[in-house]
Amino acid sequence: MGSAKIVFMFSGLGSEYHQMGRELFEQNAIFSRWLRHYDSRAVDAGCGPVIPGLYEPDRKRGDALADLGQASVALLAVECALARSLAELGVVPDLLLGASLGEHAAGIVAGALDFGETVRVFRRQLDVLRAGCAKAKLVGIYHSFAWVSSTPLLRDRCEVSAFNFADCVVLTMREQDWADVRRCLVDHDVVHQVIPVDQGFHSSLIDPAEGEVRRAVRDLRRGGLSVPLMSCATSRRVIELSDDHLWAILRKPIAFQRTIEALEREGTHVYVDVGPSGTLAGYAKHVLGKASSARVLPVLSAFGRDVQNLSKLLSHHREAI
């Protein structure tokens, strides 16, 4: 897209939902082929098929996937399929940006991780977390970090696990603290949304399982990155997907705002959201502001228009080259 570098953004757990990508799956042969490819890889990995559960006819678009293990496989499959489809259509990324589990998807697309091994290992890590850690509640709030820090209940009971943009952070807390935290948010008229994840990723709640989580990745084969990868865990380019870095992806807060700001200091970019909900595209627009010359383009959305969004993206790309 001209001199601007193309960045594919991969979102993490919580962005997935029933019927995600269905419109493209039914109307775009390339995406359909790639999603069937990853569906087959999921079966080979012993995780079962993705497509039947994802596109159950009696489930409404936007419904949460009940099982976090299956949700993780479905998310990785859809993100990888969309990224591969875009590349085949001529939209080739110069850089990949990963947030949380999305960084695993980026690693797969960059050729550093194997899809089958990655889904097996992540599901094993989920089992370890469920066995060794307290259940958690993750809640996105539309208010500033400063307000959270100045509110005693939130400061004492919660950890900020994601910094999305100036007035949007994610709080992680023990499940037992949610009723009090919710009351606080309601009393202060704070818009909030519960994220369908029951483990305390990006917080100290997963620390008790660190040893077992690290052991689960020891046998995960890793190669070099064929495309540069920017991590929202460090706001830096990834040198290698070491054991330490794979733990950091799960444990460190998601610094999305800081990562986008770091990229903008390097030059002009086109940000393409390859996640299922367009979440990162929305965050990026807030970070960049109206004065920015950067373009932000989603493809999939819980509200539909996937085919139109893809057409718009391809049109932008043709005009810029």
Q: What is the 3-state secondary structure (H, E, C) of 95-129?
A: EEEECCHHHHHHHHHCCCCCHHHHHHHHHHHHHHH
11 has pLDDT over 80: yes
| Paired residues of 195 in beta bridges | 138
pLDDT at residue 61, rounded to an integer: 86
Would the CA dihedral through 280, 281, 282, 283 be positive or negative? positive
pLDDT at residue 3, rounded to an integer: 77
Q: What is the 3-state secondary structure (H, E, C) of 241-295?
A: CCHHHHHHHHHCCECHHHHHHHHHCCCCEEEEECCCCCHHHHHHHHHHCCCCCCE
207 has pLDDT over 90: yes
pLDDT at residue 318, rounded to an integer: 85
The burial class, CB within 10 Å (0-12 / 13-18 / 19+), for 309 is: buried
Task: Tell me the pairing of strands 229-231 and 95-98.
Answer: parallel
Question: What's the predicted TM-score (pTM) here?
Answer: 0.95
pLDDT at residue 2, rounded to an integer: 54
Eight-state DSSP code of residue 163: E
320 has pLDDT over 80: no
Work out the mean pLDDT of the chain and round it to a whole number.
95
pLDDT at residue 321, rounded to an integer: 64
User: What is the rounded average pLDDT of the residues 187-211?
Assistant: 97
Q: Give whole-number Cα distances, 116 to 123, 178, 180, 191, in Å.
A: 11, 35, 41, 38
